Chain A
Amino acid sequence: MGQIAHGYLSNGAIGYYARSYLEISMPITVKFFASLREQLKSPVSQIDSAGIATVADVWNAAADIPIPDHVLCSVNLDHCTTTGAVKEGDEVAFFPPITGG
């Protein structure tokens, strides 16, 4: 088993595909809700993760208006702030103040 693994790793073609795989990043999913969604003319639902570090970066890449003062946000279904960290494959949501109940 160990020899087989070594053989694959020493194969140039396999090595090429491994590098290509590592360079493919998962997109970031973006969601907007309620009145916030209605304010946007053309919201984007997926963005490339390249250059994205925070929730505010996601807004700037996906929304066509400046980020509102009282916007709420989440990353992977957990509340966060606009300075929260974002990585590839995350789901980021923006929404107005909550009014359930």
Chain B
Amino acid sequence: MPATVLDTPFDPLQVLHQHEQTLDAGGYGAAAHFIGTMRNHNEGVSVSSLTLEHYPAMTAKELAKIIDDAHTKWKLIDALIVHRVGTMTPGDPIVLTAVWSAHRADAFEACRYLMEELKSRAPFWKKETLADGVDRWVEKNTSGYT
């Protein structure tokens, strides 16, 4: 399944359930997933909403490359990434990474790889609206999978 970027809310568990209907149920022995959701606080202050901007063409290309790279590094049956853009509120899912493989080691590591790599390679940017109405860009980033 290719990576998907959505500008409307999504239910990660429903996405997982629907996707697993497309897989051979006995073909995998491990499924690992990560769901990132919006916090109501960041760096000591309350956050009321979050807006995610992205560079659509490059995001699509990078997310597809990250999935391809994961398939190269581990023995995977399937992998998917779903990422939100637009404005969301606390509790809303932001990102889903999921991997299916024969054994747990590949599933765990590849799932973490998808998440860490997208945080350092896929061009998304977060802008928070604080409880007092002030907007601020999130500046911290990560260095990728290690």
* B53 adjacent to A33 (CB under 8 Å): yes
Subset of 12 A-B contacts with CB under 8 Å: A33-B53, A35-B139, A74-B55, A93-B123, A95-B55, A98-B119, A99-B119, A100-B95, A100-B118, A100-B124, A101-B95, A101-B119
Contacts of B122 in A (CB 8 A): 98, 100-101
* A79 adjacent to B55 (CB under 8 Å): no
Q: Which 8 A-B pairs have the closest CB atoms?
A: A100-B124, A34-B125, A101-B119, A97-B141, A35-B137, A77-B58, A99-B138, A99-B126
Contacts of B125 in A (CB 8 A): 33-35, 95-96, 98-100
Taking a contact as CB atoms closer than 8 A, the residue among A35, A77, A93, A98 that contacts B141 in the complex is A98
Q: Is A87 part of the binding interface, using a Cβ–Cβ cutoff of 8 Å?
A: no
1/0 contact trace for B29-53 toward A, CB 8 Å? Answer: 0000000100000000000000011
Q: Which residues of A approach B to under 8 Å, CB–CB?
A: 31, 33-35, 74, 77-79, 93, 95-101
Q: Which residues of B approach A to under 8 Å, CB–CB?
A: 36, 52-55, 57-58, 61-62, 83, 94-95, 115, 118-127, 137-142
What number of residue pairs across chains A and B have CB atoms under 8 A from each other? 71
* A33 adjacent to B123 (CB under 8 Å): yes
Taking a contact as CB atoms closer than 8 A, the residue among A31, A97, A99, A101 that contacts B55 in the complex is A31
For the A-B complex with A77-B57, A96-B125, A98-B124 known, give 14 more contacts whose Cβ atoms are closer than 8 Å. A33-B53, A33-B55, A34-B53, A34-B127, A74-B55, A93-B55, A97-B141, A98-B122, A99-B119, A100-B52, A100-B54, A100-B123, A101-B118, A101-B119
Given A34-B125, A79-B121, A98-B119, answer yes or no on A74-B58 (Cβ-Cβ < 8 Å).
yes
Contacts of B126 in A (CB 8 A): 99-100
